[in-house]
Amino acid sequence: MLTSSALVFLMTPGLAFFYCGLTKRKNTVNTILSCAFTLGLCAVMWVLVGFTLSFSGDNGGVIGNLNWFCMNFDGLKDSSLPYPNTLAFAFFQMMFAVITPSLIVGAIVERMRFSALFVFTAVWSLLVYYPMAHMVWGGGLLMKIGSVDFAGGNVVHITSGVSALVLALLLGKRKHYGKISYNPHNVPFVFLGASLLWFGWFGFNGGSAGAANALAVHACMTTNTSAAAAMLSWMLLERAKNGRPTLVGASTGMVIGLVAITPGSGFVPIWAAIIIGALASPISYFFITVVKKKFGYDDALDVFGCHGVGGIWGGIATGLFTQTSINPSAKWNGLLFGSTELFLRQLAAVGVAAAFAVAGTLAAAGAAKLITGGLRVGRKEEDVGLDIGEHGEPAYPAFNGMD
């Protein structure tokens, strides 16, 4: 559990590199810090109230209680949860609470005030992440109805992806969106970040088995297989449409494959991971290249297209391919194995996660705007770049040309 926790911890710096490589160089520091500050804020919040609200008791199937405020239990002996010890489980889950709000950053880069993002993240964690973690894993509503989410399709990816879309709509488009092209400023950073995410995902999904056992091995194999299939699928799409594959595209494909397999990694057969990953890329590609263009929203780094859509597909696919023989914690087989019960509950869980994300994001954004005086940087700051405008710290101090 500790090794898996360390792997998931590494995913947040990996995400920071992935996102910053895709942005303009004048927003590099801001993009990294916008991901990295959750290592501080969300970790402290998790110790204070996050873990207890997610996993202690139950109030209406939606949220826990404060019995474990400040982790007030015997961390070495408490066996309230079916894991090596409760503190090990709490440490592992803390890393999920850290990276999830960081995923939202990709949709709103280059235009959101850092102070507003800080407040938004704190409130969003209280209103969205902790209730969803409780409902899915802590004995709440979605666990009670029998839906399954092995490692965070609902809790992490659907909530962050839908929230990213809502927040991007609230902020509005970047100043020159649709008038100039937005190109990655550091493609090697994109691949480095995506590779660190893939590496960390073995802890993300494998560690969700709760022990070094056969189920953890199975989850790691389905994880790798889906990422590999999605990477190849995206490269094939680019080859068919543009005549050549790209490193940014291959990196994007692998991340989408990881997202899609997350809810079912410990429930579906290994062969199904090939189908899930191979279909994840064209589904997300359609939303990124067609739906986004049609509706004109500025999801800067396609968080909704990757994590929201990928997470929704993963939740549905879990309802299609789950086998109770792989993991008996699932009460029913998937639709392709003759049962409709799990499939219908997966659809319900997707709907609940999306609705919670929309409502919580609107409330968190409203609180951030009220407390900080506004969500968006001024036009001058946007022009000069958020590295200087928000932090006074350029990433590349020797660079003097136009950005």
DSSP 275: H
The tens digit of pLDDT for each residue in 98-110 reads 999 999 999 999 9
Residue 399 pLDDT grade (very low, low, confident, very high; cuts 50, 70, 90): low
Residue 402 has pLDDT above 60, yes or no: no
> What is the residue type of 20?
C
Supply the DSSP string of 129-192, one letter for each residue: IHHHHHHHHSSSHHHHHT---SSSIIIIIIHHHHHHHHHHHHH---TTBTTB----S-HHHHHH
Beta bridge partners of residue 180, listed in sequence order: 177
Q: Are 349 and 136 in contact (CB under 8 A)?
A: yes
The tens digit of pLDDT for each residue in 39-55 reads 999 999 999 999 999 99
pLDDT, residue 99, reads 98
Residue keyed to tokens 């202690």: 56
pLDDT, residue 181, reads 77
Residue 180 has pLDDT above 80, yes or no: no
Structure tokens at 191: 């691949």
pLDDT, residue 176, reads 83
pLDDT, residue 75, reads 67
Residue 367 pLDDT grade (very low, low, confident, very high; cuts 50, 70, 90): very high
Residue 154 has pLDDT above 80, yes or no: yes
pLDDT, residue 85, reads 77
Residue 403 has pLDDT above 70, yes or no: no
**CA–CA distance, 285 with 296 (Å, rounded to integer):** 16
User: Mean per-residue pLDDT for 384-388?
Assistant: 95
**CA–CA distance, 306 with 158 (Å, rounded to integer):** 10
Closest alpha carbon to 108 in 391, 352, 301, 355: 301
The tens digit of pLDDT for each residue in 253-269 reads 999 999 999 999 999 99
Residue 156 has pLDDT above 90, yes or no: yes
User: Mean per-residue pLDDT for 329-354?
Assistant: 97
Residue 314 pLDDT grade (very low, low, confident, very high; cuts 50, 70, 90): very high
Q: How far is CA 109 from CA 33, 67, 154, 171, 287, in A?
A: 11, 38, 23, 10, 19
pLDDT, residue 100, reads 98
Residue keyed to tokens 């709907």: 351
User: Mean per-residue pLDDT for 177-199?
Assistant: 92
How far from chain centre, in Å, is Cα 190? 17
The tens digit of pLDDT for each residue in 55-81 reads 999 999 999 999 999 998 876 666 666
pLDDT averaged over every residue in the chain? 95
pLDDT, residue 360, reads 98
Its pTM surpasses 0.85: yes
**Packing angle, helices 341-372 and 114-124, rounded to 10:** 140
CATH superfamily of 2-391: Ammonium transporter AmtB like domains (1.10.3430.10)
Residue 83 pLDDT grade (very low, low, confident, very high; cuts 50, 70, 90): low
More confident residue, 337 or 77: 337
Q: Are 275 and 223 in contact (CB under 8 A)?
A: no
pLDDT, residue 341, reads 97
| Number of residues assigned to the chain | 403
More confident residue, 380 or 77: 380
**CA–CA distance, 53 with 138 (Å, rounded to integer):** 9
pLDDT, residue 34, reads 98
User: Mean per-residue pLDDT for 341-365?
Assistant: 98
